[in-house]
Chains A and B, each alone.
Chain A
Amino acid sequence: MEKQLALSMRGITKRFGSVTANSRIDLDIYRGEILSILGENGCGKTTLMNMIAGIYFPDEGTITIDGKEAVIRSPKDAFEHGIGMIHQHFKLVDLFTAAENIVLGVREEGRYNLKDVNTRVSAIADKYGFHIDPGKKIYDMSVSEKQTVEIIKVLYRGADILILDEPTAVLTPQEIDRLFNVLRVMRADGKSIVIITHKLNEVLEVSDRVAILRRGEHIATVNTKDTSEAELTEMMVGQKVNLNIQRSEPVCPQPRLVVRGLNVYDKEGTHILKDISFTAMGGEILGIAGIAGSGQRELLESITGLQHVQSGEIIFHNPKKNQPVTFFHKSLARVTELAEDHAFHDPEGNPVSFRGMKKTDIIRAVLEGRILFNEDEIMNLRDKDPLEIRQLGIHLSFVPEDRLGMGLVGSMGITDNMMLRSYRKGHYGLLDRKKPKDLAEEIIQNLKIVTPGTSYPVRRLSGGNVQKVLVGREIAYTPKVLMAAYPVRGLDIHSSYTIYNLLNKQKESGVAVLYVGEDLDVLLALCDRIMVINAGEITGIVDARTARKEEIGLMMTRSNRARKEGA
């Protein structure tokens, strides 16, 4: 079958300052096909498509549409050429209905007639198999519904070239299937569909051709049916990659963090976490799956003491029975305090009291390991702020979702960012930069961080390097519990696997790892157990070795009453 050319790009180049985002790219888009643009984060996929959609203007090169050279200087120009882009972050007015959002900004002859719009929206929906209620407000919609509105918005404007930027990133497996079916119907209707993605399985499932970009360059365009996952990865990364996560069996897992009946409300009084109860074991990775914004962030922030908790308990178990106390986790003041509470015994089994002892004697006794705990340390972390938790000698590490806005200080160098956790250790109110600098150099070397130096602002590092700095620091803190929220978001394949391996190593050394992720394939391959939450409630905890993706997908969206009867 002869395919008709819809759009072609020749020699497209785009630079941002000294960075070349796209370099001399030639690409053709045909009618009635689904084309995937595949590449790692930061390879210039979105930039390239933004130039077709009128967001950026190319520095060099030409775009030809239907055989005529086109100038696309604004999204309006793009629409005139029948090009519509669905961005990763939706651009909808929350207070408007679906139909109102769809007609927003469209100049039409005649009076504004919402009823007429509704019928036309329904007609489009029927034609392609969407489910939509034109009168529903955006704020009542799920992510998937919002995406539907965005797609119809573009179709309503008569687009026949549709560009979707990472459309599946926020969808459940079921929603992805539904989306792909719609895309196939559109293809049959003669539309050109372009999907920007970095997920290989989706590329293979839905697209006709794949264009691979690497570091701003167009590597190749291949027919999907002639290629394989391994070949695509190799082209994408530039070398062969082993895509296996080495998952070991947990070694005698013990309860480390027990959360019971946790309830959290936000400032507006919305119930964010509802009666959350679970146990995280030392020596295992507990995955947390759920649609973005289901309460994952609040859960981790509650544990670290950043979020006010309405009710419930967060119990930390430190398996310290008959183990020596150390200054590594506890300060002298805390050790003395514990001794007052009769928490210790000596190697002969006699109770320890520091009464009347000199400071130097106490320090020596502790250093020689002669002070042993009577019992496991069990502490309730609820209502303690991060500093108090720290002062209790509990090492909770937290890799937050917002790396530069919460985990790190963007304008500071790696040394000063290492210091965030340790700056209080300096003497006489002054900072000690020596140890943080050593740590910075160690992390740069061990994790192969690419940076001009230890004082180079971390904001200017690439996403993968930023994340290595953050994870590196949190691990250097020798955690008992390590919590990571979307630690591989935006990272290339290599960096992602570095992070997975680091988490695995922590698990093997007995740390309880909590991993909040969005890619179900990774969750299933990396974790030991997966806890699924939906709208602030746990809808199931499954064994990651036996669970199926579809099963988890259902739990991510299902209503929770069914579970409660079972549980």
Chain B
Amino acid sequence: MAGTHAAGVREPLVHLSRRTGMPFWKSWLIRLAALAAGLLICGAVAFILIEKLRDDPGKLGDFYCAFIKGSFGTSRKVWKMLKNLAILLSISLALTPAFRMRFWNIGAEGQTLVGVLGAIAVDFYLGGKIPEGLLIALMFLAALLCGGVWGLIPAVFKAKWNTNETLFTLMMNYVATFLVSYFLVIWVPSGSSSLAKLKYGKLPTLVNDYFLIVMIALLLTIGLYIYLNYSKHGYEISVVGESVNTAKYVGINVRRVILRTMILSGVLCGLTGFLIASGLDRTITTESVGGQGFTAIMVSWLANFNPLMMILTSGLIQILNQGAAQISQDFNVSGALPSVIVGIILFFIIGSEFFINYRLHFRHHKTREAIR
């Protein structure tokens, strides 16, 4: 028999309870506090790891400045950040309809890459042979088609045989990568290591090279926000995502919604692929998307699947990335440190969601004594 008065009553040290209805400002205060805490820890880590800082702690100020300088130091850097933001944002937007449907599409990397491939293939074979306007239009269509097909395949299997979409879309990424390798072997003359930048098929320049891309991403954001929140399709997506049984109960054709939504998701990835191909690279490697298809998953989740919020979350990630790159340049550190810094800050920001959703109760003896 346990528990006498003298021994005191043992009680679990901490227990959790869900909280609801936290005011808007308070949750943002927690997020900001988390960001600040993350930055502090980053400083501490940098202090330990970077020799220059240990020798001269006064440079810690420069360290934090580098975060800002990386994205806002020059107008070129600002535009570069905006361009990166736009690309990441478009991929995140593409994933969002699927995520709202609880269809865990983690194949944006592959869907975007086949989009790039489609556009580059058209450019490679038809560039210079047909009018530039027609070429760009064809590149656009090819990218959308390829992305759409890449999104449709796992959806068909999901709708028909209820296969696991997470594994399926993940595997499709590898198929896309090897497809690109295959075409590179055909296209690149032996001796050269990569496909030279193609002459034709360049997206028109408006203001500067990046302006058009940023505008397209912005329009896409607004369009998708309306689609998801104010259209019948968007409503069906939400119902299917929440409960397939409810969807069937009101006569929604669940299979059709899954197929339609995944085509949309793939097509939007393909569109991003077109922007990369025609607007930026005009060449292709297996790394053309550079892991942004995976980062986009986080962007979408962090924004709670809200397209407008994704501007913020993708912005945050790109600012961190460029800040970390600036630090590695300024302090002459290479390799993993920038990633460590980005990782720490994201850890804090994602972790803060836990404290927004849950309250911790610690053991407290006082109330107990009072009752006795």
Which A residues fall within an 8 A CB radius of B? 10-11, 15-18, 57, 59-62, 68-71, 73, 77, 80-81, 304, 306, 385-388, 390, 398, 400, 402, 404-412, 416, 419-421, 423-424, 426, 429-431, 460
Taking the complex as formed, is B239 at the interface, i.e. its CB lies under 8 A from any CB of chain A? yes
B10 to chain A: closest residue by CB: A71
Contact A17 B232 (CB under 8 A): no
Q: Is B80 an interface residue (CB 8 A)?
A: no
A431 and B231: CB pair below 8 A? yes
Among B17, B243, B372: residue with most chain A CB under 10 A: B243
The answer to whether B246 touches A408 (Cβ under 8 A) is yes
Total B residues in contact with A, Cβ cutoff 8 Å = 39
Using known A-B contacts A17-B19, A306-B249, determine if residue A70 contacts B232 with beta carbons closer than 8 Å.
Answer: no
Q: Are A405 and B246 in contact (CB under 8 A)?
A: yes
Check: B23 CB closer than 8 A to any chain A CB: no
Interface residues of B in 209-246 (CB under 8 A from A): 230-236, 238-239, 242-243, 245-246
User: When the two chains form their complex, are residues A431 and B371 in contact, meaning their CB atoms are under 8 A apart?
Assistant: no
Identify 23 residue pairs between A and B in the complex whose beta-carbon atoms are under 8 Å apart, listed by A's number: A10-B371, A15-B17, A16-B17, A59-B361, A59-B367, A60-B367, A68-B3, A71-B2, A71-B9, A71-B10, A77-B2, A81-B1, A306-B248, A385-B251, A388-B251, A390-B251, A400-B249, A405-B246, A409-B242, A412-B242, A416-B235, A420-B250, A430-B232
B76 close to A (CB within 8 Å): no
Cα(A420)–Cα(B238), bound, Å: 11
CB-based contact B243/A69 at 8 Å:
no
Q: Annotate B15-38 by CB proximity to A: 1 below 8 A, 0 otherwise.
A: 101111000000000000000000
Q: Contact: B359 with A17, CB < 8 Å?
A: yes
- Contact A69–B9 (Cβ < 8 Å): yes
- Looking at the assembled complex, report how far the CB atom of A79 sits from the nearest CB atom of chain B, in whole angstroms: 13
Check A426 against B232 for contact (C-beta < 8 Å).
yes
B12 within 8 Å of A (CB atoms): yes
- Chain B positions within 8 Å of A71 at CB level: 2-3, 9-10
B12 close to A420 (CB less than 8 A):
no
**Of B2, B235, B246, which one neighbours A423 at CB under 8 angstroms?**
B235
With A57-B11, A62-B372, A406-B246: A430-B230 Cβ-Cβ less than 8 Å? yes
Contacts of B232 in A (CB 8 A): 423-424, 426, 429-431
- How far, in angstroms, from A356 to B15 measured CA to CA in the complex? 75
Q: A61-B371, A424-B232 are in contact. Are A409 and B239 (CB under 8 A)?
A: yes
- Check if B197 is an interface residue, CB within 8 A of chain A: no
Are A406 and B251 CB-contacts (below 8 A) given A60-B371, A423-B232?
A: no
B300 to chain A, nearest CB (A): 17
> A406 contacts which of B3, B234, B243 (Cβ < 8 Å)?
B243
Residue in A closest to B2 when the chains form the complex, CB atoms? A71
Q: When the two chains form their complex, are residues A11 and B238 in contact, meaning their CB atoms are under 8 A apart?
A: no
Contact across chains for B1 and A68 when beta carbons are under 8 A apart = yes
Given A386-B251, A405-B246, A423-B236, list of 17 further CB < 8 A pairs? A17-B18, A59-B361, A60-B371, A61-B371, A62-B9, A69-B4, A304-B249, A306-B248, A386-B248, A386-B250, A405-B245, A410-B243, A411-B242, A420-B239, A429-B231, A431-B230, A431-B232
Top 5 A-B pairs, shortest CB-CB distance? A387-B251, A71-B3, A386-B251, A406-B245, A409-B242
B368 at the A interface (CB under 8 A): yes
Residues of A within 8 A of B252 (CB): 387
Bound CA–CA A426/B246 (angstroms) = 20
Chain A contacts for B371, CB-based, 8 A:
10-11, 60-62
CB distance B243 to A409 under 8 Å?
Answer: yes
Cα(A400)–Cα(B5), bound, Å = 52
What are the residues of chain A within 8 A of B231 when measuring CB–CB? 429-431
**Option from B12, B250, B253 in Cβ contact (under 8 Å) with A73:** B12
**Interfacial chain B residues near A18, Cβ < 8 Å:** 19-20
Shortest distance between the CB of A302 and any CB in chain B (Å)? 13
> If the complex has contacts A73-B12, A405-B245, A407-B249, are A460 and B3 also in contact, measured as CB distance less than 8 A?
no
Q: Which of A69, A398, A420 contacts B3 (CB 8 A)?
A: A69
Taking CB atoms, residues of chain B closer than 8 Å to A406 are 243, 245-246, 249
B20 neighbours in A (Cβ, 8 Å): 17-18, 460
Q: How many angstroms from the CA of A60 to the CA of B367 in the assembled complex?
A: 7
Separation of A409 and B253 alpha carbons in the complex (Å): 16
Contacts of B372 in A (CB 8 A): 62
Instruction: Tell me whether B17 and A73 are in contact (CB under 8 A).
Output: no
Residues B11 and A68 in contact, CB atoms below 8 Å apart: no
Q: How far is the CB of B248 from chain A (nearest CB, A)?
A: 6
B249 touches which of A10, A15, A386, A419 (Cβ 8 Å): A386
B61 to chain A, nearest CB (A): 43
CA distance in complex: A421, B20 (Å): 29
- CB neighbours (8 Å) of B1 from chain A are 68, 70, 80-81
Judge whether A412 and B238 touch: CB under 8 Å. Answer: yes
Q: What residues of chain A lie closer than 8 Å to B246, measured between beta carbons?
A: 405-409, 420
A203 to chain B, nearest CB (A): 30
Query: Closest CB-CB distance, B304 to chain A, in whole Å?
Result: 12
Task: For the complex formed, measure the closest distance between the CB of B126 and the CB atoms of chain A, giving whole angstroms.
Answer: 35
- Closest residue of A by beta carbon distance from B12: A57
Q: Taking A60-B367, A409-B243, A410-B242 as contacts, is the C-beta distance between A431 and B248 under 8 angstroms?
A: no
Taking each of B5, B242, B246, which has the highest tally of chain A beta carbons within 10 Å of its own beta carbon? Answer: B246
